[in-house]
Structure 1
């Protein structure tokens, strides 16, 4: 059992499953790098980090799997829990540290996304009502609004962080790409490789008889 009372849960599946369900064929290495970078940012916050992927998740629905994952961490003595995914590349360690401070003041913390979801959920153990939490409209466009009402229903006080983009589809990756971003970084180079090969992969997927003879430059780097 940990002696600390605050922790971060990275709730993220393997790159293979994530890419498949998000329609990001060819984006597995990019997603793996997203996960690795998110985990590194979380560890730099100076808290215990729990990564729960599909191998450790239990439950039939998304809400059940997330709720069970959170409950398993609360049961280890954690009182203040931040939950993040792997698909918000603009999330920073400083934001995580600030969110933990708000949690430890007794507040519930949410980081909204432009599509109505969240990139960060911070809930104190005393405000975590499992039965109602798992029934929230997970993966729906009204999730953030529902979370606000849910917090009031369990007696919590909300603090809302600035909105960030989350990468739920290839189009989101295209929108995130910007000349001002990190040209030399491994993540950005993997993103460019994925976006450059995506139209070809789509043609192969839509037409199994398509004859693929193309060379796409790619810097493999370290495997994950």
Structure 2
């Protein structure tokens, strides 16, 4: 076991996740995703810490995330691997490969398909609290700003494969096409959410059709019919 490296799981509770990701059935989805993530983390054999809204500190996402990294280093670890709970294709190999690269003081990034990252691994010498606080967290500028920071510091970077994370229903639909290796319960939840959304869409179209049909046969005032 690599006792110098710790995994930081930065994940809010399902109820908190739904405030930023309003997905039908999302509470069950994020509960199961968190369970899956923790199983993967435990299988790596590396020490890990989970930061939810209950033990995060800061007034915004950037502060909370950066402070969590700082808190993990304060426990005596030299390397930190940060992940979330919304990347279902994350596996043990991603974590162990990252830990191996960190032994050589490489900066590790796992890029996500939306331009952000699902994993970041760094040695404590590469972490500067004020610099990281200034990054444009939760914006499309993050990847570029992070790249500039790395290039300026002349840090050698190792990039993992691109994975999809879940921020919206559209992301979930993409994930569903790649879900052959998911557990039965997670696959069932994803299918249910997509079918539920489709059902609402179909029902909406049906109601709209009924409304238009009733309007067409309406024998109301000439002024109204003139604009139908």
TM-score normalized by the length of structure 1: 0.84
What stretches of structure 1 of length at least 5 have no aligned partner?
Answer: 205-224
Q: 1:149, CA displacement in angstroms?
A: 1.6
Residues 26, 198 of structure 1: 8 Å contact kept: no
1:100-121 deviations in Å (ceiling 9; x for gaps): 1001111110011121100001
TM-score, L = length of structure 2: 0.82
Q: Runs of 5+ in structure 2 lacking a partner?
A: 204-228
Cα contact 1:25–1:198 (8 A) shared by 2: yes
Q: Which has a greater percent of helix?
A: 2
For the 8 Å contact 1:118–1:143, the answer to whether it is kept is no
Distance 1:71 1:193, change over 3 A: same
Distance change in 2, residues 1:184/1:5 (3 Å): closer
- Structure with max Cα Rg: 2
Contact 2:179–2:187 (Cα < 8 Å) also in 1: no
How much has 1:180 moved relative to structure 2? 6.0
Alignment: residue pair count: 202
Q: Deviations over 1:76-104 (max 9, x none)?
A: 00111000011111111011100110011
Query: For residues 110 and 19 of structure 1, what CA distance do their matches in structure 2 show?
Result: 26
Alpha-carbon displacement from aligned partner over 1:19-45 (angstroms, at most 9, x marks no partner): 231121321111111111111101111
Q: SS at the partner of 2:6?
A: strand
Q: What's the CA shift for 1:198?
A: 3.0
What CA RMSD, in Å, does the superposition of the two structures yield over aligned residues?
Answer: 2.1
Q: Which residue of 1 aligns with 2:117?
A: 118
CA contact (8 A) 1:183 1:189 kept: no
Q: Aligned partners of 2:183, 2:35: CA distance in 1, in Å?
A: 17
